[in-house]
Structure 1
Amino acid sequence: MEEQDFINDLRAGKQFAYGKLLDLFQQKVFATCISFVPNKEDAEDIAQDVFVEVFNSINKFKGNSKLSTWIYRITTNKCLEFIRKKNTKKRFAFLQSIMGNEIPMDKTKYFTEMNHPGVLLENKQKSETLFKAINQLPRCPACGFYA
């Protein structure tokens, strides 16, 4: 089967085409994911997300590259997105450990600005404590950044 015919079958939603897509690319996608994220379960989840994305956006495939290149690009983007989210969670947890547990972990809720004098004073005190700790960190003599 020629690649364009295969792509047309995918766009038409033909079941055998989706099966063939998995047969052709499942191992390659997983291998790419595991090279970015060396945790088997996370890599499997990302690979599943890749195929969902491919299924949902096959009509957006312009054909400027091979299908395998397009799938590889989706795979790397999904892996990098996973790593960014994971790093954001780590930073958020670090800030929460410094500032206390009053920061809600549910990021779907928006932070609201509190202008109550007591809250402002407490935040100022926490900021002073944080910056005092930061200023006690050693600095790199060459560049002046914190080590």
Structure 2
Amino acid sequence: MKILIEQEPSGGFGNQDSAILPHHTVTTAAPAHKDSVHALFACICTHLQSKGVIRSADFLVKDLLARESSGSTVIADQLANPHAQGSFVDECLLLYLELSRPIPQWDGSHDVSRLLLILIPQNPSMKDLQYLRDLYRRMGDEKVLGLLGTGSIKDVRQILTTEGK
């Protein structure tokens, strides 16, 4: 299981020196949340493909958007848990991303400032499946879920790197 914990720089999407994501504008118009989510997924997937973590940014974006359209992945205040499984993923990946600005109305009603993106290969290892099972079990605790949504990066790192506790 590869675990990446990243913060978008305070300069936002437009900070070219260290930004994960390229410039992107968020508005509060009714359909903007869908455009914002699509743009965010496209930027994240391109970033992951450039790091060699996934094979196809396009396939992953389509898969994540399809999953999001079948039901919201918002799981706590300010936290979405988009996820996908497929042949475009070589190894299990957990990407925790704290955005410098929330995406308004991620699912039409909830703002999201943090993502817990989980990518699973077609045939994951038993060790990775065990880690994910333990993580989701721990996320059943409201305190843990709250820390993932609004806690410090130190708290998040502790949660994501401590197996089964």
Q: TM-score range by the shorter chain?
A: 0.3 to 0.5
Query: Greater share of strand residues, 1 or 2?
Result: 2
The structure with higher relative contact order (CA 8 Å, sep 6+) is: 2
Give the number of the structure whose alpha-carbon radius of gyration is greater.
1
